[in-house]
Structure 1
Amino acid sequence: MAYDHGEQEQLDALKAWWKQYGNLVTWLLIAVLSAFSAWKAWGIYQSKQAAQASLLFESVQNAIQEKDQAKVLRAVTDIQEKYSGTDYASMASLLAAKTDFDANDLKAAKVQLMWVGEHGKSDEFKALAKIRLAGILLDEKSYDDALKLVSGDFSPQLVSAAADRKGDILVAQNKIDDARAAFQLAIDKSTDKSPIRQLIQLKLDAIGGAPTPAPAANK
């Protein structure tokens, strides 16, 4: 699809804006899901393994606050090797991926996200890792690979996030009609109380609003 000079400038501005702020969506989901899972894990599992894993997870959090990347890596590796069967391992890996991303170490971030995708205990964490990995591939302009990660089936809790990420990728490919449909799906599958619903709506409005409905078939 061809655009005139003014439209192309607007699209370029939108892409730059999403590159800066779009990652807020999945990181916010990680924080919410991690907090819930930590509470759930502590409430359900009172075993020694879960308690020890929670202590290591706390070490990861402390290392992140101290901005000690080497300490973060050691703690995450430790929890992955010893307690891979707990949600804490997935949460620690996702948090480590965020610190790597913030440090512009995309290679290390991808390693952590792929670990969750392969070894994560819950399907939700695996799916969240795929969505986040798609965001990194989007930044690297690996659009086709990114699109594959968010084109499968997702649990009801993550359908909206996957569709939102898909919309970002489609915008980068200048597939605006498809992007509108993806953003609309993300809104339709989100709840009124979703913290990211307004941001998705802003994206949709920025590219012209809701997708044009297909013409009705002649009866």
Structure 2
Amino acid sequence: MAYTIEEEQELNELKTWWQENYKSIIVIFILTFGGVFGWRYWQDYQVSKMQQISAQYDQVIYAEQKDSAEQSAKLDQFVSENKKTSYAVFALLDGAKAAVDKQDFPAAEKLLKQAVAESSDDLLLSASALRLATVQFQQQQFDQALESLKQVKVASWEGRKNLLHGDILLAKGDKAGAKASFEQALKSADALEQSLIQVRLNNL
């Protein structure tokens, strides 16, 4: 089960948003907590550091695309050197996607668990946890997948969370619970998603 097109679009939007806004976030942080003295030097240092991390991230992703034998080691090193940053999470999500594309779900699960651990905000945590639950569901780790779904906290992803929750419950034989989850997902679904959810409901 690969990620949906909508999930990949959201991940790309997250990356684009971070690239466009990280300088402003750094400046706000400095102005708020750094005081007046030396803020310009610190700002320049932080911007330079983030640009360096961005370049390293691009190198890691390029290695993945080239299917380099060293990609796993490069990814581990990058995450280790940039703990609790958005770039570390993005790199892990990209690594997990590559593993899913190869049908290597255990490897994807390991990377996604790291992504959850490295996420420092609800947006990235939710993205990582939703993908982790999807991979665990693919491996029929139903209880683990349900636990992972509890970490999806962003309201805009509540529909997909409920849909996957219903699929998991249905796989466990809980038709009543699955129906309730599908009906909940139906409330926030667009036209295409509504038709897919309705098919599930009709087949219960």
Q: Which residue of 2 is the match for residue 57 of structure 1?
A: 57
Give distance in 2, aligned partners of 1:208 and 1:106. Answer: 28
Give distance in 1, aligned partners of 2:54 and 2:136. Answer: 31
Q: 1:201 aligns with which of 194, 199, 203?
A: 194
Q: Is the CA contact 2:3–2:131 (under 8 Å) kept in the aligned structure 1?
A: no
Q: Is the CA contact 1:171–1:179 (under 8 Å) kept in the aligned structure 2?
A: yes
Q: Deviations over 1:104-124 (max 9, x none)?
A: 222221121111111222222
Q: Percent identity?
A: 21
Q: Which residue of 1 is the match for residue 113 of structure 2?
A: 114
Distance 1:72 1:184, change over 3 A: farther
Distance 1:140 1:153, change over 3 A: closer
Q: Is the CA contact 1:150–1:166 (under 8 Å) kept in the aligned structure 2?
A: yes
Q: Which has the higher helix share?
A: 2
Aligned length, in residue pairs: 184
| SS of residue in 1 equivalent to 2:201 | coil
Give distance in 2, aligned partners of 1:105 and 1:34. Answer: 24
| Structure 1 counterpart of 2:139, one-letter code | E
Give distance in 2, aligned partners of 1:73 and 1:200. Answer: 36
Distance 1:169 1:74, change over 3 A: same
| Structure 2 counterpart of 1:206, one-letter code | V
| Structure 1 counterpart of 2:17, one-letter code | F
Shift in Å, 1:88 = 0.8
Shift in Å, 1:58 = 1.0
Q: Is the CA contact 1:27–1:98 (under 8 Å) kept in the aligned structure 2?
A: no
Give distance in 2, aligned partners of 1:22 and 1:116. Answer: 16
Shift in Å, 1:131 = 1.3
Residues 46-85 of structure 1 correspond to what in structure 2 (within 5 A)? Answer: 47-68=47-68, 70-85=69-84
- Once superposed, what is the RMSD of the aligned Cα atoms? 2.6
| SS of residue in 2 equivalent to 1:158 | helix
Q: Is the CA contact 2:85–2:118 (under 8 Å) kept in the aligned structure 1?
A: no
TM-score by length of 1: 0.71
Give distance in 2, aligned partners of 1:160 and 1:140. Answer: 22
| Structure 2 counterpart of 1:74, one-letter code | A
Shift in Å, 1:63 = 2.1
Shift in Å, 1:138 = 0.8
TM-score by length of 2: 0.76
Q: Is the CA contact 1:60–1:75 (under 8 Å) kept in the aligned structure 2?
A: yes
| Structure 1 counterpart of 2:79, one-letter code | Q
Distance 1:112 1:145, change over 3 A: same
1:35 aligns with 2:16: yes
Distance 1:47 1:108, change over 3 A: same
Shift in Å, 1:174 = 3.6
Give distance in 2, aligned partners of 1:120 and 1:152. Answer: 11
Give distance in 1, aligned partners of 2:92 and 2:127. Answer: 12
Give distance in 1, aligned partners of 2:90 and 2:105. Answer: 18
Q: Is the CA contact 1:134–1:147 (under 8 Å) kept in the aligned structure 2?
A: yes
Q: Is the CA contact 2:88–2:118 (under 8 Å) kept in the aligned structure 1?
A: no
Q: Is the CA contact 1:124–1:158 (under 8 Å) kept in the aligned structure 2?
A: no
Give distance in 2, aligned partners of 1:137 and 1:166. Answer: 12
| SS of residue in 1 equivalent to 2:87 | helix
Give distance in 2, aligned partners of 1:131 and 1:109. Answer: 13
Gaps of at least 5 residues in structure 2 are 27-45
Shift in Å, 1:92 = 0.8
Give distance in 2, aligned partners of 1:139 and 1:125. Answer: 21
